Amino acid sequence: MTATVNTKRMDLHVSPLGRVEGDLDLRVTVEDGVVTQAWTEAGMFRGFEMILKGKDPQAGLIVTPRICGICGGSHLYKSAFALDVAWRTELPPNALLVRNIAQACETLQSVPRWFYALFAIDLTNRRYAKAKGYDEAVRRFAPLVGESYERGVTLSAKPVEIYAIFGGQWPHSSFMIPGGVMCGPTLSDVTRSIAILEEFRHNWLESRFLGCSVDRWLEIKTWEDVLAWVDENESQHNSDLGFFLRFGLEIGLDRFGAGCGNYLAMGTYLHHEKYNRPTIEGRNAALIQRSGIYAGGKHYEFDQARVREDHTFSFYQGSGLLHPFEGRTEPIDPADAKRQGKYTWAKAPRYDVDGLGSVPLEVGPLARQVVAGKPGEEWQDVDPLFSDIIAKKGPSVLVRVLARLHEEAKLYKNVREWLGELDLHDRFYIKPVEHEFGRGFGATEAARGALADWIVLENGKIANYQVVTPTAWNIGPRDSRNVNGPMEQAYLGTTIHDPGDPVELGHVARSFDSCLVCTVHAYDSKTGKEIGVYRIGETG
């Protein structure tokens, strides 16, 4: 970490910010102890779109799951739907159910792994040593040795065992294909999947994490319900979720990290009887976990045609806003780009909202749960909890984390239901016509947020392919109007208590599921002399 200091102003450069995916850097200006400017910098070039250009249309099914080792199944899910739309396929109900089961299992795995291995270990930082709950935080969440850490990380592997039963492997499976899925599960596969899911519920979700039944947690509809639930009985009070809420409020995680306050969800989990002929136009109405925009205090329908990517401050040729169907990936030398004021490889996704123009939108669990607050059909995810919390408390690190934890109980219920709806005597695949020309859009909600592909086919080859990830939505840079990206905005106003160990920066990044340095080196940027070494997350 670089720290450049004068009397009241300090510039911090944290590199890398990531604990798992360490290509994200952060620069902030701190004045009188408060962050006044922020720049998020993606330090590595991806270029998967360039790899796919000119390839066979099905190349995306192989290449895009390799974009991420954590949510490769989510990449496969939206890539398959993009080609389904372009080829105008027919999908049997079983194929939609299996895709949903696999996608949800990957997210079920991601929640405890992210919470214990990435987020919660920062609660053991010495910054909180004087807090009443500190010793308890260390006992539960200390990396590798914490009682809850070990169990949570270990049992997080269970849901993706179900993914592997249907997909043959996890990660990097390519079993979702245009027209369906490449599997023919047996009754034994289904009963084994149910047994694994129930083990996950019994040994972690209810016994350790919630301290109550899934159904009891899902009765909660307001912030007052949340607080009452914590103190309802000893089991819930002492559960990992109960403790996180108590300790998070004690150390003030509800008082910073708000962000832009506008949200986007592209939705996921297509109903097995309502999306058998995939089209862009028919997608919104078939979603179980719905799409939508919440901006300026209003709900809007999601329309992929309103998505743009701004690359004014990104290491690419030119500037301006382009829809992904017309998107270009033309990298330039970062040294030359920096002379033009550019500072990151990430583009800046924006969405054209009526009356607001192209604005940055936060994606992820909080966005999904805010969108869930609008009225919907009986079979869709309708949930008023986070509309209530946002109205009463506003967004923050604590609220963003709670939204992700809240989804775990819902997804368990979804997967259990879908496993019971499979018809083992029916088809899982319908061979499609491989059209030489077409355009397709496929999207999902990875654990981190909205993830989408746009594909253009010409003469039986990929003419253009654009992937817009949740990380790009959240950590994207300023745009042509010089408006900060969502995570950059979330840093503004954050108080840094110790510039030598700015754990608050990590809390914000990890609430979006980004990462913080585990070892921080601070040195004088002019002389290069190291002035201190700090390790974040150690105990004792």
User: Residues annotated as binding site?
Assistant: 49, 68, 71, 467, 515, 518, 521
Residues with Cβ within 8 Å of 205's Cβ and at least 6 positions away in sequence, in order, are 214, 408, 409, 412
Across the strands, what pairs with 431?
none
User: Residues annotated as binding site for Ni(2+)?
Assistant: 68, 71, 515
Q: Report helix angle 187-200 to 397-421, nearest 10.
A: 150
Closest CA to 138 of 125, 155, 150, 151: 125
How far is C-alpha 353 from the chain's CA centre?
22
How far is C-alpha 323 from the chain's CA centre?
22
User: Residues annotated as binding site for Mg(2+)?
Assistant: 49, 467, 521
The DSSP-derived string for 315-384 is SBSS-SEE-GGG----B--HHHHHHTT--BSS-EEEEEETTTEEE--B-SHHHHHHHTTS---TTS----
CA angle (264, 267, 273) in 5-degree steps: 160
User: Residues annotated as binding site for Fe cation?
Assistant: 71, 518
Per the CB < 8 A criterion, the answer to whether 472 and 263 are in contact is no
Q: Which residue has the tokens 């749960």?
A: 369
Question: 184: alpha, beta or left, given left = phi > 0 and alpha = psi -120 to 50?
Answer: beta
CA 385/CA 403 separation, integer angstroms: 9
Beta strand pairing call for 287-289 and 298-300: unpaired
Half-sphere exposure of 500 (CA within 13 A, CB side): 10
Closest CA to 49 of 468, 469, 451, 465: 465
